[in-house]
Structure 1
């Protein structure tokens, strides 16, 4: 890692460093939105050694690597239990079931999220009810309050892009109406609100370990964190066809186990996770310093903007008055961007028949895009992205 960035220790203290030297604007550079080959190449020998050792042991399903990863993840997040599952969607479904969500109930969630959030509610037999989001992309709690009915049993804040919702407001709403909190923290492993980790505000928190996530494996993967011993035992049964530690089937479950090989890879990544988050926050700080103030460009809150939040910057989502033109300009200069979920909010997938009064989300769907954000970006990569965004706005 170059010294050109301000870096950040796991404690959150900043260390002074030289400002990044800008790349030459006229010199084309390729900066893909996410560099999947580099994800492996970064620690290739270590990954290969671990994978080989696991395969030579024949340790494929629910072996010691999974148990060790679960113990280390629980210790990292300061909870009693972590349960590895096949993917983030399975994690959400199990979290909902553990919270008593099922047929006849409604669950309020934001329309600005991945379809899996609503699909998990639908798949357990409940009805997803969609609220608006605010300027930071997080759930608008006032919009959610207006949707509470006698059938509402839970509220599902989505900790999007590595940032937490205003969990004090979410908790107040849940307390007011007696609602369960079921967190979709799939994009926020390690993010905090007032010193408390995302995923710890409800009965169970759900995470995704998809390769491009802040803690990602080399395939699909997910996890749940819990503090209740009985719920943790039920979660372990639900992920494995309902089988308990005694080998008997106690409930209907799913085939939703985290692959042991992926667990071994995740152990390696978890050991250096704080370094990865520090790098993302350093990149976000440079974006904030270089791009703030550009006309027609709205940035997410910077890493030092809110003392209540510790953002891990899973994504760097901006809004632009000229989104499509900016994307085309950057693509011509080798910079990859993404319009998250194809530019649609959940209620805009008309075939699903879901509706929402979400004017901010609808306006945002025409404005938002994500700039490259991952630890493999070099200082020159980030400087080049900033140069091109500045060139677009000054051209």
Structure 2
């Protein structure tokens, strides 16, 4: 073993320092402008991110959960309706369905941690209104199959792209693969701001027009309220920060891909590692390995200065909040098995090659 290093799972301050002058200027510019809600800086970010993703509309909202919630509300999905999503995601993928009064219908996942299209098809009923595929770890879900199912059954496809901004599937960016998409701009995401933030993308002009009102109290203008809405706007300051970071996103994602490839090459003989297929470009929000000795490996890594996480240790169907859905242990064997065997290694653009190689050596030393 080489000399011990300390490698945090995340280190957001490194990225801040790398672009601090630009962020500081944006803070001063917005502060001096006196405009802190909506306005030109938000519109500028929305235009640029829509062009980046390849859609006609991008709308900044308060957070990634609101992005999904507001789309479901705009579609008038509610009591009596069902929405299908994966059981191994962050809880927000399901609570937004419950929050509009609909029923979350959970299904199991495949080896890439993304929703299994065959199980989606089997879960469709006369009450199904939408599918929310989750692009987990920064890898796009199997959208060709999902879109085919949606077309067959006249369903809406809402991408949960919270972890996958910049990722590609058959040449198209996530956020342009369904009818609409929700992104998170949480600080931990590949494109993160300095607080909460979210983004909706769509090519549907009518949907975008309705969402513009829903995110802003339902207002038609300053004095006229057209529909009952919500207060879910991306702050001008955060939009300014996001616009700066958008200019770096492809390079940052490329660095994460490079780190992932180094991890995979170094660890494939010891643990199960992700596999990139020819038609996809994963942005590696997380780099997840699998081993039956997961807990012992995590303890070994921590003892040697490497912090890790599990995403996510309790599948949604086994959360207390989901009891009323009627699922039980054993219903989704893949997700349950992965929850006990997977661990996320540190991965962010600012990691040095020396740090990446140290993580590999620590994992190898365990085995």
* 2:355 matches 1:381: yes
Q: Output the TM-score relative to the length of structure 2.
A: 0.96
Larger mean CA deviation between 266-275 and 93-102 belongs to 93-102
The aligned residue for residue 342 of structure 2 is 368
Of 286, 296, 306, 1:335 maps to 306
Q: Quick one: distance in 2 between partners of 1:204 and 1:143? A: 22
Q: Quick one: distance in 2 between partners of 1:120 and 1:39? A: 31
The aligned residue for residue 299 of structure 1 is 273
Q: Quick one: distance in 2 between partners of 1:191 and 1:262? A: 22
Q: Quick one: distance in 2 between partners of 1:186 and 1:226? A: 15
Q: Quick one: distance in 2 between partners of 1:83 and 1:350? A: 33
Give, in angstroms, the shift of residue 206 of structure 1.
0.6
The aligned residue for residue 171 of structure 1 is 147
Of 322, 329, 338, 1:352 maps to 322
Q: Quick one: distance in 2 between partners of 1:36 and 1:329? A: 24
Q: Quick one: distance in 1 between partners of 2:261 and 2:217? A: 45
* 2:95 matches 1:119: yes
Q: Quick one: distance in 2 between partners of 1:179 and 1:50? A: 42
Q: Quick one: distance in 2 between partners of 1:247 and 1:81? A: 25
Structure 2 residue runs without a partner (length 5+):
none
* 2:290 matches 1:319: yes
* 2:182 matches 1:206: yes
Give, in angstroms, the shift of residue 246 of structure 1.
6.2
Q: Secondary structure at the residue paired with 2:111?
A: coil
Counterparts of residues 51-90 of structure 1 (less than 5 Å): 51-90=27-66
The aligned residue for residue 19 of structure 1 is none
* 2:94 matches 1:107: no
Does structure 2 retain, via aligned residues, the 8 Å contact 1:59–1:261?
no
Q: Quick one: distance in 1 between partners of 2:109 and 2:318? A: 14
Counterparts of residues 273-312 of structure 1 (less than 5 Å): 273-294=249-270, 297-301=271-275, 305-312=276-283
Q: Quick one: distance in 1 between partners of 2:355 and 2:242? A: 26
Write out the 4+ residue segments of structure 1 that deviate beyond 4 Å after TM superposition.
Answer: none
Q: Give RMSD over aligned pairs.
A: 1.3
Q: Quick one: distance in 2 between partners of 1:70 and 1:247? A: 24
Tell me the alpha carbon deviations over residues 66-109 of structure 1, each in whole angstroms, 9 at most, x when there is no partner.
Answer: 01000110111111111000000000011222334221100111
Does structure 1 retain, via aligned residues, the 8 Å contact 2:163–2:183?
yes
